Amino acid sequence: MQMNTKQKQVMILCGAGQIGMAIARRLGYGMQILVGDYKKENADNICAILNAAGFKAEAAHFDLSSRSSILSLLARAQELGSVSMLINAAGVSPSQASIEQILKTDLYGTAVLLEETGKIIAEGGCGVTISSQSGHRMPQLTAAEDELLACTPAEELLSLELLQPKNIRDTLHAYQMAKRCNVKRVMAEAVKWGERGARINSISPGIIVTPLALDEFNGPRGDFYKNMFAKCPAGRPGTADEVANAAELLMSPAGTFITGSDLLIDGGATASYFYGPLKPQA
């Protein structure tokens, strides 16, 4: 499919972190990049790096947990040109936030972002949202529960019975539920994005060395995560550029037959969790 070349092509980058920047550097040349982050100084810093490297980037304050903030970012993107790429790398981790904030940001916010971007994405456009290996290791949900996560209108998601506080054990469980929801939302949204001639996929990284990961290494589950990458087949954590390698495939012409999919990139940690030395003991 040919994109409209009369307007500037716009890439939206949500979350001014290492993974998002690595993907933007891989794919954002020749485009206007709009970088949104809850801490605008983080977005300013990423834009400074990108602009110094020859890209064209603009920073904005962005709160993934707020529908109005999401709509504001999308409106600014449309002022800049034709929205042809979305990178959603925003979110909070189990060591950074409460159960309620994780669900509102990572689960609800991502659902709103994908839903609203799908209404304006250009023909031939594409997107990727960063999920997590955590969604692959939680106990399986029923088909009915998965469908609820995939298809419930975004404004009703947090009212679902399975997401009520009494059914969420701790912040890790909340994070797992959010990431499971991300993957299911991508599947459902891929159908809608396809009606516009666009694609959307997710990536589920394992332990990737970023400031957020360092928070986890130094948090209450630090030993758990260090043990995870030590005993996974790769024997090490990953890098943001390795996630960008996968995003480049998914978002380039080589990936035009890939949509509604999730790509697990975790050095084999999930495989080891189910069938290797990371398998929980009874």
List the structure tokens of 244. Answer: 């960008």
Residue 27's DSSP bridge partners are none
Catalytic residue among 38, 179, 184, 273: 179
Residue 179 is among the residues annotated as catalytic for this protein: yes
List the structure tokens of 16. Answer: 């001014």
Residue 166 is among the residues annotated as catalytic for this protein: no
Closest to 233 in 3D by CA, of 263, 273, 176: 273
List the structure tokens of 163. Answer: 């997401």
List the structure tokens of 217. Answer: 């290494």
Helix (H) or strand (E) holding 116: helix 110-117
CA atoms within 13 A on the CB side of 203: 28
**DSSP per position, 242-267:** HHHHHHHHHHSGGGTT--S-EEEEST
Catalytic residue among 175, 184, 225, 273: 175
User: Residue 120 in 3-state DSSP?
Assistant: coil
Closest to 49 in 3D by CA, of 65, 33, 66, 68: 33
Closest to 33 in 3D by CA, of 88, 89, 80: 80
The packing angle between helices 143-151 and 171-194, to 10°, is: 70
**DSSP per position, 144-176:** HHHHHHHHS-GGGGGGSGGGSGGG--SHHHHHH
Residues taking part in catalysis:
175, 179
